[in-house]
Structure formats: structure tokens, C-alpha cells
Amino acid sequence: MTTTSEFFRLDGLDAVPDAVRGGVVAIGNFDGFHRGHQSVFEVAKAMAREKCVPALILTFEPHPRDVFAPAPFLHRLTYAEAKAKLAEALGFDGIAVMPFSRELSSVEAPDFVSRYLIDALGASGVVAGADFHFGKGRAGTPEFLKAEGERRGFDVRFIDMLAEGDEPVSSSRVRAALAEGGVEAANRLLGYHHFISGTVVEGDRRGRELGYPTANFALPETSALAQGVYAVKVQVGGEVFGGVAAYGKPMFDNIRPPFEAFIFDFDRDIYGKTIEVALLSYIRGQMTFDSLDALIAQMDADTAAARITIAQARPLSQLDAALGFIAD
């Protein structure tokens, strides 16, 4: 693989730099970048090394399922920024995020190959999951793309779904685990610690009054993350801190609650800044208390549990280490 001196984040394919043209392209929705997706990525990178060309990920935003629904509904695991962070950590030379729309879905499969894979990217290889289809009427089947590759001179590989237990590793399994508080199960399927991000906003300052000032940010309306208390690692401006976080306010107004992270050994004004929070474990579900003193006592216990989890945390993979939340 010919690595470039910088990582390229492309919004669309209107102006693809020469540095990433002619490469091997891993193509798919890739929500989650889970271990099944990573098996596609590894083949793409290996093919790129053999050809001495760049390795690029081509993905789509928003998710096609949200485009065709009456309103967005899908609990997304990785939006464009997270995908770019993961692609860079995996050692790709770049990621291209194509805006997905009904118009794009109506492009005939041969035209999709011509416009995007050949003209825009000059792809020398394409790798995808065995269930990937594209183009109008999903006519871009694996068989079709392999035939196009033979005809137009680029290599094509399709990778079977990776299984764990009796089921394939899938984004839906990760979502289901997170909705039930199964952080460890979700992280195992992902091969890294799931992370979320947001811009810190002012809250009701109730945490500060309780001795636990928090950095608050909103989760997407479609988030199905289990309400409760989590042990977390927080990236702030390139630095990493431990913390304990809560989602949901059963004792107060619990309509669209923020995600609230109490960052250990931290006292800075970060309003308006973006932070990233990796979920290490689910400590407990939401509870109500008879008094604020009882609530504070439980928060003290949650903090102690989080500190133990953080001290014992180790990277789940090379990718997890590269993301920088947890050191070896």
C-alpha cells in the first residue's frame, strides 16, 4: 500500500486528489466499522499493498434506510466524523463520504460504476461485503460488479459476513446490545470501545450543586442508547481523562435528557467544544432516590466503580489502541 503523507477526508467525489486516485476502494455503508466491516477493510488494505496503491473507504451519509423512511429512525453507531476517525486509525489513506439521496439511488448500476468508481476514483480494486448492492433497483449485485471489473480492468473481491456464535457480526446486533446496556457485548462485536461525541452545552447546573459538575451534550433524537450510568474515557482537545457519565434524569425532567459526563480531575471551561466519550462499561440502570443525600451517596459509589473499571481497561485491538482512548 502506498501511504500518503496525509489522511484525506472527502465530502463527495467532485474533486478527488491524485494522491488517492487509482487505489483500492472498500465500499459500503459501514455503520459501526465493526469486526465484520474490518474483515472487508483488511482485504482492501492487503490488495492495496500488493498493488502499491492507496487504500480508500467509500461510504454514504445519511444512511439509506433513513432516506427512504418517512423520518430518520435508525440508531446510528458512526456518523461521518466517527467514520473518518476510525478510517484514519485503521491506516487508510482516506475516506470519501458520498451524500446519499433518492437521486443517487436511482442511478443505474453501470452509470454508478462509470461515474464514481472509474471516472472519479480511477479504482484499481473494489472490496465489499457479500451483501452489498448498489444502483437503481439494487441491480448492482456482486455478480454484476465482478463482471464490470473484468470488463473494465479493476479487481473485485466480496467478503462473506463474519460470524460470532450463531449469528453474523452486524450493526443491528451492536445497536441491540447498546439499547440493553450491553456495552461489553457491543464493544466485543465492534473490536473497539464504542464512542459518541457532541458539543458541550450549558445544563441545569444541578450536577455542580451536587458536587459533580458535568460536561453535557445532546444525543441524536434517534439514539436508543440505554439510559443509565457508564464508566467512560473522555477525549478533550487531544487529552484523555477518565470519567463517569449518566444518561437520563428519572428524578427530574427526563424528556430528551443530555448525556452528562463527570470528568475526573478536570476543571476547565469547555462550553462550545466537541468532546468524544468512549463507553467502557454499563454500571447500572437509572434509579430514583428518596433524597438528594441518597442520590449523592450512589453517585459516590458509581464514581468508585468507574475508577476501578478505568484502571483495569485495556485496548481490545490495535484499532482500539490507535483511537487513543485507552493506552496499552
The secondary structure element, H or E, covering residue 167 is: strand 167-168
C-alpha cell at 232: 467512560
Given 61, 88, 148, 260, the catalytic residue: 260
- 87, 3 contact by CB (below 8 A): no
Of 241, 239, 222, 221, give the one whose Cα is nearest residue 231: 241
Judge whether 150 counts as a catalytic residue. Answer: no
Of 205, 187, 158, give the one whose Cα is nearest residue 316: 187
SS3 of residue 158 by DSSP:
strand
**Amino acid in the structure at residue 300:** D
- 104, 76 contact by CB (below 8 A): no
- For residue 76, the tally of other CB atoms under 10 A from its CB is 20
- Detail the DSSP E strand segments found in 6-133: 8-11, 24-27, 55-61, 94-99, 125-129
Report d(CA 27, CA 66) in Å as an integer.
19
- 306, 277 contact by CB (below 8 A): no
**DSSP assigned state of 306:** H
- 117, 123 contact by CB (below 8 A): yes
Looking at the annotation, which residues are catalytic? Answer: 260
